Amino acid sequence: MSLSPVAAASARHPKPETAVFEYGTAGFRMKAAIMDPVVFRVGLVAALRSRALGGKIVGTMITASHNPEPDNGVKIVEPLGEMLVPQWESLATRVTNAANGDLDAVLAQIAAELKIDMNIVPRVIVARDTRPSGPALVASLVDGLRALNAEVIDAGVLTTPQLHYLTRTRNEQLANTHLYGQPTEDGYFDKLAHAFNKLIASAASGNPDFKPASLSVDGANGVGAGAFRTLIPRISSSLAAEVVNDGSAGALNDKCGADFVKVQQTFPSGVTVRPGGRYASLDGDADRIVYFYADQESKFHLLDGDKIATLAAAFLIDRLEAAGIRQGITIGVVQTAYANGSSTQYLEKVLGVPAPCAKTGVKHLHHEALAYDIGVYFEANGHGTVIFSDHMIQVLDAGLVSANASTRQALQDLRNFVDVINVTVGDAISDLLMVEAILAFKHWSLDQWDAQYTDLPNKQLKVEVPNRALFQTTNAERELTSPAGMQAEINKLVAAVPKGRSFVRPSGTEDVVRVYAEAETREQTDALGQAVVALVR
């Protein structure tokens, strides 16, 4: 009997019988060495997803973001650049766990359940980061796609946000609708550079002493380094930027990059830090960014996702007021439990905007942010963006038609601000340009930005436990419902510490439980963190 195309291809990518996989917060992620059957099957799922959407283009990205170089991962992106919908996360888990001999049957079952027309030609874009394991995994993914007759668009090496952008714009092109931007890598850079240069020109207008700021960008030895370097010449009159940790010397994410800087609260290696200088770190797939600097005593200071969110919200409020359209535009800043208590306080008390808390993972924040005309969302780790409602865009466009001399510039600034933002997903490069534009408007150095509020000392710890599934949370991950009684114990520890806050949650990307603690002093924070770790262990 001859094998079906899927069965024949599957024989080249056998799944070890006992292996169990799960589509987590950021897709599948594991040691690259065991990923071959997973990416092959994700190819099948992506093709099926495209068919279920009538042949719209689906994106696939091979990356393990901030994780070490030997890891890799794969995730699927919806046609407009959103994260895969939850129903399909479960289907992806189902397909990746099917026994080797059952693949055809499982695919047929899904097609029947969802009434998928198997004659539709699937279209899938494939991209990867710079990990050495990437090319072989792309080949396996493509093997899965071809087994279902998919049309494959190999986009090569891209940042994760570029893949989201490309997926969205290729679909818009296909549907002949309004293009968010030109559907090419060049189109991506052009869109960002154009909006950024206009913002800087506006910030510099009337200031003969304007000089582009100097910025040094830690590329985490990853894909963001090359991408940002491509952008530099297009924005050279607006920003004097250089890239360090570009992969020519060190390993990906090794003692550098946004995750290292945020979690370790220290300078990345490979960067010569001068007091007063301006620095930013990207993560391994360039969807996260944090800023940092050294004070006169060479002490490390971090400007994380919370600082970026508050900066963006304050600036947007200022421009809305100057444009005369603050009334009737709602703004919210969505955070997670990891947001520093001081940032939430600043948003609610000083800026007067709601700051709801969502579960960790971009899709949860994005979803909550949709409730506002301007939804700013950032995880403390530097992953986030700003999204705008149709109403907001209409108000802007209508305002520009009837604007008078005093409001026109503010309206145009807002328009350019919308264009410098990658609304499809958190994007380190786009966020960097947003921050630089705001700092230029404010004439702020990093310490002036930092002075808007003072972070409470905080600490993140990870604990290996026999079974992290025992840890279950509620209230946007701020409280444990299981193991029974543990939350009451944490509450007691927290109550004993001034400005204390601590929570425990199972990681969605690693086999560990995470502990977060913050308090008024560094000593209290460390002690609280250790006490909670002792409870968890």
Binding site for ligand 16G (CB under 6 A): 25-26, 65, 360-362, 379, 381, 383, 507-510, 514
Q: Which does 379 bind (CB under 5 to 8 A by kind): ligand 16G, Zn ion, none?
A: ligand 16G
Pick 25 or 265: Cβ nearer Zn ion? 25
Pick 363 or 408: Cβ nearer Zn ion? 363
Is 283 annotated to bind a ligand? Reply is: yes
Pick 172 or 283: Cβ nearer Zn ion? 283
Asked if 317 and 428 touch (Cβ cutoff 8 Å), the reply is no
Q: Which does 283 bind (CB under 5 to 8 A by kind): ligand 16G, Zn ion, none?
A: Zn ion
| Whole-number Å distance between alpha carbons of 375 and 364 | 13
Is 246 annotated to bind a ligand? Reply is: no
CB of 514: closest distance to ligand 16G in angstroms? 5
Asked if 301 and 294 touch (Cβ cutoff 8 Å), the reply is yes
Q: Which does 285 bind (CB under 5 to 8 A by kind): Zn ion, ligand 16G, none?
A: Zn ion
Assess whether the previous peptide bond of 483 is cis (omega < 30° from 0).
yes
Is 427 annotated to bind a ligand? Reply is: no
| Whole-number Å distance between alpha carbons of 442 and 437 | 9
**Strand (E) or helix (H) holding 185:** helix 185-204
Asked if 123 and 55 touch (Cβ cutoff 8 Å), the reply is yes
CB of 26: closest distance to Zn ion in angstroms? 8
**Nearest-CA neighbor of 29 among 53, 6, 57, 63?**
63
Pick 337 or 396: Cβ nearer ligand 16G? 337
Q: Which does 168 bind (CB under 5 to 8 A by kind): Zn ion, ligand 16G, none?
A: none
Is 169 annotated to bind a ligand? Reply is: no
Pick 307 or 383: Cβ nearer ligand 16G? 383
Q: Which does 472 bind (CB under 5 to 8 A by kind): Zn ion, ligand 16G, none?
A: none
Report the greatest alpha carbon distance in the chain.
Answer: 80
Does 283 bind Zn ion (CB under 5 A)? Our answer is yes
DSSP SS3 for 19: coil
Pick 222 or 332: Cβ nearer Zn ion? 222
Beta strands 357-358; 331-336: pairing state: parallel
Residue 509 has, within 13 A of its CA and on its CB side, a CA count of 18
Give the DSSP letter string of 318-383: HHHHHTT--TT--EEEEEETTS-HHHHHIIIIII-----EE-SSHHHHHHHHTTSSEEEEE-TTS-
CB of 508: closest distance to ligand 16G in angstroms? 3
CB of 286: closest distance to ligand 16G in angstroms? 12
Is 287 annotated to bind a ligand? Reply is: yes
CB of 160: closest distance to Zn ion in angstroms? 6
Does 287 bind Zn ion (CB under 5 A)? Our answer is yes
Is 140 annotated to bind a ligand? Reply is: no
Does 450 bind Zn ion (CB under 5 A)? Our answer is no
Distances (CA, A) of 262 to 166, 278, 300, 354, 384: 29, 16, 11, 25, 15
Is 508 annotated to bind a ligand? Reply is: yes
CB of 82: closest distance to ligand 16G in angstroms? 11
Does 285 bind Zn ion (CB under 5 A)? Our answer is yes
Please identify, among the stretches 96-104, 117-125, 286-294, 464-472, the one whose residues bind Zn ion according to the rule CB under 5 A. 286-294
Is 506 annotated to bind a ligand? Reply is: yes
Pick 65 or 238: Cβ nearer Zn ion? 65
Beta-bridge partner residues of 28: 74
- How would you class 405 by CB atoms within 10 Å of its CB: exposed for 0-12, middle for 13-18, buried for 19 or more? exposed
Question: 161-180 b/e with 16+ CB inside 10 Å = b?
Answer: bbbbbbbbbbbbeeeeeeeb
CB of 168: closest distance to ligand 16G in angstroms? 16
**What torsion do the CA atoms of 267, 271, 274, 280 make, to the nearest 10 degrees?**
-70
Note the residue count of the chain: 537
How many residues touch Zn ion (CB under 5 A)? 4
Give the DSSP letter string of 262-320: HHHTSPPTT----TT--EEEE-TTSS-EEEEEE-TT--EEEE-HHHHHHHHHHHHHHHH
Pick 253 or 524: Cβ nearer Zn ion? 253
CB of 355: closest distance to Zn ion in angstroms? 23
Q: Which does 143 bind (CB under 5 to 8 A by kind): Zn ion, ligand 16G, none?
A: none
Q: Which does 55 bind (CB under 5 to 8 A by kind): ligand 16G, Zn ion, none?
A: none
Q: Which does 258 bind (CB under 5 to 8 A by kind): Zn ion, ligand 16G, none?
A: none
| Whole-number Å distance between alpha carbons of 24 and 510 | 10
Catalytic residues: 65
> Which 29-68 residues touch Zn ion, going by CB under 5 A?
65
**What is the contact surface with Zn ion in residues (CB under 5 A)?**
65, 283, 285, 287
Instruction: Point out the annotated binding site for substrate.
Output: 379-381, 505-509, 514
Instruction: Point out the annotated binding site.
Output: 65, 283, 285, 287, 379-381, 505-509, 514
Instruction: Point out the annotated binding site for Mg(2+).
Output: 65, 283, 285, 287
